[in-house]
Amino acid sequence: MKSIGFLSFGHWSPSARSATRSAADVLLQSIDLAVAAEELGADGAYFRVHHFARQLASPFPLLAAVGARTRRIEIGTGVIDMRYENPHYMVEDAGSADLISGGRLQLGLSRGSPEQVIDGWRHFGHLPRPGESDADMGRRHTETFLDLLRGEGFAEPNPRPMFPNPPGLLRLEPHSDGLRERIWWGSASDATAVWAAQQGMNLQSSTLKADETGEPFHVQQARQIRAYRAAFEAAGHQRRPRVSVSRSIFAIVNDLDRAYFGGDTSHDQVGVIDNMRAVFGRSYAAEPDRLVDELRRDEAIREADTLLLTVPNQLGVAYNTHVIEAILTHVAPALGWR
């Protein structure tokens, strides 16, 4: 069995060809798509977070709204850029959204990706400490967030409070038990995957990775997953971690699919992103029988317990519902995922 969800980047554009022409469109359609995916039997609704862009940004109002409209599906991010986050405020937002959903939040965090603006986190009031890089700052924010999620008191109570306090040091509220074990780290390198394991986080591995060996993307990603699991066990954590990979996968089952994706001959690509040589994984688009054969050869998908399908959200809720349903119906059973 494999958990299967969708990942939406939440693009919107005023173009006449886009089904999401405003921020309101993409937010409301994201909720509708999560509801539809749950009805189809999908396991997760995940959303990307980008700042200063015509995409989804502040995740917690959306996560809370999805949580209020659904009952079963996991709700998550992939990923929140921790360079921008105040960990204390984020604990309150995350606790609230998790309680609204009944404990279904799966938060993916990371150092972040290339930005729309120069050092955008500075506009949010965050500066690296002396000798610290922005990536170091993101990991420091993450470590603080993880520590606060444990729910241990740390703040000295006012001797004359407005409202009665429980005894002892106070923690941030609302606190949601169990959320600490549902935090994921989006890792592009083997080293940060090992760091995530040491911190006791789950692992999200995306459609790009640092090119560390020159091997095909899925081979390097599978090796990263195995290194992560070994480090998680070596750290002595007392649970089995989860691992997700993201893929663009389209089962061509009608003429509209063929028009959109029938000419796809995608393959791995190598490029430079944030001064890092990276390998970008291919997309998959084919008739179901051929698609099944191609996916069987993807080592990283075999290693992962969770698969996130990146969806073309600007094509609208109805078409993306079809994309998800085609995978769940025509591909997942043949691969033993369901």
User: Could you please report the per-residue DSSP string of 197-236?
Assistant: HHTT-EEEE-SEEE-SSSS-HHHHHHHHHHHHHHHHHHTT
The predicted model gives 35-49 an average pLDDT of 98
Residue 114: pLDDT over 90? no
The predicted model gives 179-200 an average pLDDT of 97
Distance CA 207, CA 280 (A): 6
- The pair of structure tokens assigned to 23 is 């921020």
The predicted model gives 137-147 an average pLDDT of 98
Helix (H) or strand (E) holding 142: helix 134-149
Q: 192-230 pLDDT, tens per residue?
A: 999 999 999 999 998 888 899 999 999 999 999 999 999
pLDDT at 115: 83
Residue 116: pLDDT over 80? yes
Q: 265-301 pLDDT, tens per residue?
A: 678 888 887 778 888 889 999 999 999 999 999 999 9
Q: Please check whether residue 308 is in contact with residue 6, taking contact to mean a CB–CB distance below 8 angstroms.
A: yes
pLDDT at 125: 97
> Among candidates 182, 199, 209, which has minimal Cα distance to 277?
209
Number of Cβ atoms within 10 Å of the Cβ of 276: 13
Residue 160: pLDDT over 80? yes
Distance CA 55, CA 9 (A): 7
pLDDT at 268: 81
Residue 113: pLDDT over 80? no
pLDDT at 88: 98
**What mean pLDDT, rounded, does the chain reach?**
95
Is the Cα torsion angle 131, 133, 138, 142 positive or negative in sign?
negative
Lowest mean pLDDT among 97-101, 138-142, 162-166, 229-233: 162-166
pLDDT at 266: 78
The predicted model gives 157-180 an average pLDDT of 95
The predicted model gives 73-94 an average pLDDT of 98
